[in-house]
Structure 1
Amino acid sequence: MIGQESSQALTAGSSLRLVYDSTRRIGLGSPLHLDYGQRIALLGPSGDGKTTLLNLLAALARPTAGAVRYYPRHDGCNGRPYLTWGASDWRVGEVEAARRQFGFIFQDAHLLPRLTCLENILLPARLYGKTNNGETNGPAEDAIRGWMEAFALTRSEEGAMAGHDVAGLYPHQISGGQRRRVAVLRALANDPAIVFADEPVNGLDGELQGLVMGFLSRWVQARPESRLLIFVSHNPLDALRWSDRCFYFRGGLLRELEADWFRQRMAEHMAPLEVTDAHRARMNRWLAP
């Protein structure tokens, strides 16, 4: 296993930022240190920079200033203790090596239309040689099918979550919610070190939201020494329920939320199972400047 003796996974200095134009920018208010075994939530309303920050940390966007450092936990980085990408140090080989260690869940499913759902899920593992042929660390196809059953994507005779078998179907033949769940499983098929999830439960009903987020949480907990989840949410209740640390933007700078304080405020002002749009608006006001 490659990496440092500590559990650090991603770090970035306080100088990390991206400038959209002369008037709009996002950045870090202080150095950022994220460890393996954590579930990190980026919380806030639409348009405040959460997705942009996710892209910077995932080596999908080049910052205007500063750099990100990733400490690998998997083989495949040529024995290097860390990989770096930034404004003045954007090396294609280094960026591609890091991306191979990551799983991505985008706001839109982005499934390939000419591949079946099962082929879409297995694609990252096959591209990166992790098809569990006895020499790799990706999940076997039967394990993937087990995941699909857990996500109500295969036919089951029992339980309220029983669903249709979509493994051999194409993306246009299934619902938006099913496409979303296929995209989540695709992000895990490569056995990634870090999963970057942009609104992973967007468009799913309450039961499926809990199913997906619970699955992602258990995925981290199954191997906390080598897995990290970073997800975007606009729902404060979900962000706090499924995260160990929660961040939000204030004045274009990232701040860490004092989770104990926030949970106390929620307990004082509302029943936990009765969260209306008005309640969510109140939560967001607590985060406002």
Structure 2
Amino acid sequence: MQGVSRVFGDGSDTQVTALHPTDFAVYPGELVAVVGPSGSGKSTLLTLAGALQRPTAGRIAIAGQDLAALSERQLADFRLQQIGFVLQSSNLIPYLKVREQLTLVPQLAGRGGAAARALADDLLGHLGLSDRAGHYPAQLSGGQKQRVAIARALMNDPGLILADEPTASLDGVRGREVVALLAREVQARGKAAVMVTHDERVLDLCTRVVRLEDGRVLEG
């Protein structure tokens, strides 16, 4: 991000600046934590980084692609190919088994089949979930669901992983396990990752910590 800002509202009396002009970068192998109080701009930063909304001003590039050059349809394709999302509730589909949760992602990109199933099994093995491949989400613990969500985020080999409060529904031990696993995979696979979190207990597992307050980056 270079000089990226986001302003909501039309008139000067109703405008709200969610993010002031900001420079922000994350590199392959890094897991960067973004922390700050509610309303500080963390969610806005994450949705901009995830190409889910466009900035009011400034430039965003991911894997060398300037997002401003893409149409809405191209942005949707770009998100599928280059960005993996891990959300606080895992957002698994209740009626799909674990392996199917993963293979659905490449199917959406037109790359299903045996190769996708093999990749899914490889990821599940790396994350200690091979024995859960045939289980439904209701049969998994909270920590296992988040590990499945991480595996799903890696399925299309994206350059960027975005995690929104991935430990919010977990106890301290399970939350730390999930972030440690995410950090390990990010480093081993050369991904860039950004994690918004309120969980101070996992910050030591991150490469850097960026603090936001009132839409401004204070450090990082």
How high is the TM-score relative to the length of structure 2?
A: 0.82
Corresponding position of 1:108 = 89
Corresponding position of 1:55 = 47
Which residue of 126, 134, 155 corresponds with 1:147? 126
Matched, 1:126 2:107: yes
Corresponding position of 1:255 = 218
Within-5 A mapping of 1:53-92: 53-71=45-63, 82-86=64-68, 91-92=71-72
| Inter-CA distance 118–200: structure 2 relative to 1 (3 Å threshold) | same
Higher strand share: 2
| Inter-CA distance 236–145: structure 2 relative to 1 (3 Å threshold) | closer
Write the letter of the residue equivalent to 1:140.
L
Corresponding position of 1:219 = 185
Higher helix share: 2
Contact 2:50 2:83 in 1 (8 A): yes
Q: Tell me, which stretches of 5 or more residues in structure 1 are unaligned?
A: 1-11, 72-81, 155-164, 258-289
Q: Tell me, which stretches of 5 or more residues in structure 2 are unaligned?
A: none
Contact 1:29 1:254 in 2 (8 A): no
Matched, 1:232 2:196: yes
Corresponding position of 1:206 = 172
Corresponding position of 1:13 = 2
Partner Cα distance (2:157, 2:118) in 1? 7
How high is the TM-score relative to the length of structure 1?
A: 0.65
- Larger Cα Rg: Structure 1 or Structure 2? 1
| Inter-CA distance 131–212: structure 2 relative to 1 (3 Å threshold) | farther
Compare relative contact order (CA 8 Å, sep 6+) and give the higher one, 1 or 2.
Answer: 2
| Inter-CA distance 188–252: structure 2 relative to 1 (3 Å threshold) | same
Write the letter of the residue equivalent to 1:230.
V
Count of matched residue pairs: 214
Deviation readout 1:205-253 (Å, 9 max, x if unpaired): 22222221111111122133xx1111111123422x1222221222321
| Inter-CA distance 217–191: structure 2 relative to 1 (3 Å threshold) | same
SS in 1 for 2:95: coil
